Amino acid sequence: MNQFLSDYGLQILYKVWEHLYISALSVGLGVLFAVPLGAVFSKAQRIAPLVMNVVGFLQTIPSLALLSLMLPIFGVGKLSAIIALFLYSLLPILRNTFVGISSVDKSYTDAAKGMGMSSLQILLQVELPMALGIIMAGIRVSVVYVISWTTLAAYIGGGGLGDFVFNGLTLYRIDLLLMGALPVTALALSIDLLMKALENKFTLEKRNI
């Protein structure tokens, strides 16, 4: 065991950082795009189902197929992986933002209008804060999915812990396979617990309003 850690310890740390970097950037882009879009579509509910269906269709494409489709456009490496994972992250965040804002009690928005607040002020100061618990639930789902799917980034040269998994499969080495799979599982579970705590916090704050 000591020899194993001596041989691979620094490499494991680097691959964990690489895995988190790819995952965080993909979900971060998903939040930047999906939250504003969800807010817009909550005010334009006629076109919302069409957009949801388009985004939902992207999630029906097998992960390896979508990663492969990125190669001719963005080439081998992290960029293709990040773009593909970004597309996968969109649906839960977009859907939960739409549902969260749409479900805000109209009495709150009517009161805000009565106070002279603009539509943008109502969105930023009333609707988004009240929908934050539901939005966080969508982000939580995306984060856990993306951390798991980032393992496949190694398939197109994106790096991360998937390198160990694919090397283990290629060389028939269980130690390398576990060295990739176990940290991915630990990361997904740890971040899921953290996101769940944040989701509960924002949900509780909404109830106390």
pLDDT band, very low/low/confident/very high, at 52 (cuts 50, 70, 90): confident
- Choose the weakest-confidence range: 47-61, 110-124, 180-194: 47-61
Query: Total domain count for the chain?
Result: 1
CATH of the domain at 102: 1.10.3720.10
- Residues 97/131, Cβ–Cβ less than 8 Å: yes
Q: Averaged over 102-113, what is the pLDDT? A: 86
Task: For 167-182, write each residue's pLDDT tens digit.
Answer: 888 888 888 888 888 8
pLDDT at residue 2 greater than cutoff 70: no
Count CA within 13 A, CB hemisphere, residue 9. Answer: 6
Q: Averaged over 79-96, what is the pLDDT? A: 91
Best CA proximity match to 140, nearest among 96, 77, 82: 96
Task: For 22-36, write each residue's pLDDT tens digit.
Answer: 999 999 999 999 999
* Residue numbers of the domain that contains 80: 2-207
Q: How far apart are CA 111 and CA 48, in angstroms?
A: 26
Q: Name residue 31's amino acid.
A: V
Over pLDDT 70: what percentage of the chain? 92
